[in-house]
Structure 1
C-alpha cells in the first residue's frame, strides 16, 4: 500500500488523467444502465408489478397479450382446474383518449380487471373503482403530467365511451403508455359484447406453481401458460429495445477493460527499470503485484464514487423528462462488475511485473 500511494502522489497528473477516463466510462455505463432499466419499467411496469405467477394466453398468439383472445368458456375451463381465487381474467387494449372539453389526445392502455382479485393495483390517491359502475377508471399518476385530475372525464376515441377518473395508481405502464384500470362492465361497454360472441379477454392471470402451470397446459386445449418474463418479451419493441441497450452496456464494459489494460500496461512498461531495481534489492513479485492491484482498485473505487454522484445528480436534473431508474442494488451490481473489469484490464500489467528480470532491468538502467 505504501508504494502504491507514494507513486500516486508522485505522478499526480498521470493518474488524474487515467482517473478522469475511468470516471467518464463508469458514468456512461451507469447512465445507460439506468436508462435501460427506466425504459424497461416505462414499457412494462404493469406486468412487472403484477401479483401473478403466470399468464394464460391463446396458443397461437406467439406469447403476445395483444394477439391473444380467450373467451368466457376458456376462463370457466381454467378455473375448474385452478380454483376461482387462483385465476382472474385480464383484458388489454391500447387506445387514444381525449378529455372532455379538450381536443388534446393521449395514448393509453386499458386493463380490465376484477378489483377484488390479485390484479387490483394499489391506489395512491382517490378510491378504488366500483365493481358495479361501468364508467370509472383508475389512472396511472403519470397522466398528472398531462394535467389530468381526480374527477376528470375521459373519452375513449375508439368506442366513444366516457369514463371518470376516481383514483390514481403508481408504476402502471404498458408499451410506454399509462395504464387505466377498469372493471369488466367497462370492458364490456367498449367492446359491445352483446354482439353474440360474449365477453373476451387477452389473458388469464394465475397464482400457481410451475407444476400446476404445466398440468394446466395438458388439461385445457389451445392455451399456453407463460411466465411474466415471457410476457415482457412479447410486448412490442420490448425485446429489441432492451437488447440494443444491453449490447451497448456490454460493449462499454469491453471497451473499459481494453482502455484500462492499455493505460496500465504503458505505465508498467515505463516503470520496468524501477521494478527491476526493487526486485534486485529484495522486493518480491507478490509485493509488487499487490501494489499494482491496490493502485487499480483505489483508482476504480474513487472513480466509481464520483461517477455514481454524477449519475444521480444528472438524474435529479432531468427529472421525469426521460425514463430513468437506477436502484441501489443495480448500482452495487454495476460497480462490482466495473471493479472486476478493472482487475481484468490490469492482468497484462500484472504479468509483466511478475516476469521482470532484475539483472536485465538493472543493465538497462545502467
Structure 2
C-alpha cells in the first residue's frame, strides 16, 4: 500500500470528501437502525418479555377460527382457556386482555391496559418485582409502569380512572411497552368492565406456557377454533408493527444501495484518473496483483476511517436522541451498519478497480 497511502496524503481534500460521504451514510444508517429497533421494542417489548411458548388467538363471536390475526379483534373464552390448560404439554394457559385507553389523574395520558387473572404472577414475570408497593393488582387496583407514574406524578395509594373504571394505584414496576404505549396491569374483571366484554370472554389471547406438543396443540386449536402462534409470529398481529418495520427496513435497504453506488462511482473515477500513474508502475515492473492490492487497500482505509467516524457520531447522537425518541443502541445497531457499509464498499471497490489489472505499460511511454 505504499503508493495508495502516499496518494491519500497528497490528495487530502479528495479523500476527506469521500470519507465524509461514507461517514454521513453510516451515521444515517446507525440512527435509522437504532430507531427501527427502538420502535419495534416499543411495539412488542411486553409480548416478548412475557415469553410464553406461544399465543393463542380466537373469535368468541363465532365457531370459526380467525383468519386475519390481530390482537385487537381476537377474543378467547373460558372454554378456550380450559381446553388449552388441559392440553398435553401445556403447563398453564393464562388469558391476557389488551386495550388502549386513557388513564386520568391530575392529567390524562394514553396507556396500554393488560388484564390478567388475579394472582397470576404475570407482572413480575413480564416486568419486574415492584419498585414500590405491590407487584400484582387486586380487584380494585392497578399496577403502573414506572414512566406512567413519573409522567402523571402518581404514587402508591393514589386514585386514577382508566376508561370508565376508578382504581387505586397499588404498585409501580419497571417499564414494559405494547403498541407504543406503556403497560398498566389490572385484573381480568377490571379489563372486562373497561372493554364491556361479556363474562365468558377472558381476554384477547391466551399466553401458553409449557413445551409444545405439535400434535396435541394442533388438535386443541382445531377443536376450539383457535390459532396458536409463536411469540415472534404474533408480532405480525400488530398492524403498526408490520407496516412500520417494513417501511424502515426498506429505507435501510435503499441507503445500503446508495452507499454502494456512491463508493463504486468514486473509486471508478479515481481509478480512471490515475491510470497513467498505474501504467508507470507497470512499466517499472509492478505486477497486476500488486496494483490490485494497493488500490483495494487504499479504498479499505478510506472506508474504515469513514465508517468509524460515522458510527461514533451516530452512537453519540443516538444516545442524545434516546431521551426524546425510542432509539435502541447496541452492538448490533451500531457496529452492524458500520461493518455492512465497509463490506459493501470493499466489494464495490473490487468491481471498480478491475481495470487496474488491464492497465497497459505502454501508456507510460505515450503509447495508445
Query: What is the TM-score with the length of structure 2 in the denominator?
Result: 0.89
1:64 alignment partner in structure 2: 70
- CA distance in 2 between counterparts of 1:268 and 1:106 reads 59
2:131 counterpart SS class: strand
Which deviates more, 344-353 or 232-241?
344-353
1:273 alignment partner in structure 2: 276
2:207 alignment partner in structure 1: 205
1:154 to 136, 139, 160: 160
Q: Deviations over 1:146-167 (max 9, x none)?
A: 233332322012x233231511
2:257 to 254, 258, 264: 254
- CA distance in 2 between counterparts of 1:291 and 1:124 reads 61
Which deviates more, 147-156 or 15-24?
147-156
Q: Are 2:142 and 1:141 aligned?
A: no
In structure 1, list runs of 5 or more residues that go unmatched. none
Q: CA deviation at 1:317?
A: 2.6
1:25-174 alignment runs, 5 A limit: 25-58=25-58, 59-60=65-66, 62-82=68-88, 85-99=91-105, 102=106, 104-114=107-117, 115-117=120-122, 119-123=125-129, 125-130=131-136, 133-151=138-156, 152-157=158-163, 159-170=164-175, 172-174=176-178
1:330 alignment partner in structure 2: 333
Q: Deviations over 1:205-257 (max 9, x none)?
A: 123445x2453122342011112222111113111111111111000000000
Q: Deviations over 1:135-181 (max 9, x none)?
A: 22222222245233332322012x233231511222x1111111112
- CA distance in 1 between counterparts of 2:91 and 2:253 reads 43
Q: CA deviation at 1:185?
A: 4.3
Q: CA deviation at 1:26?
A: 0.7
Does the Cα contact within 8 Å between 1:213 and 1:225 map onto a contact in 2? Answer: no
Does the Cα contact within 8 Å between 2:20 and 2:306 map onto a contact in 1? Answer: yes
- CA distance in 2 between counterparts of 1:214 and 1:139 reads 39
In structure 2, list runs of 5 or more residues that go unmatched. 59-64
Q: Are 2:22 and 1:22 aligned?
A: yes
From the superposition, tell whether residues 209 and 266 of structure 1 become closer, same or farther in structure 2 (CA, over 3 Å): farther
2:357 alignment partner in structure 1: 354
2:61 alignment partner in structure 1: none
Does the Cα contact within 8 Å between 2:45 and 2:178 map onto a contact in 1? Answer: yes
1:6 counterpart SS class: helix
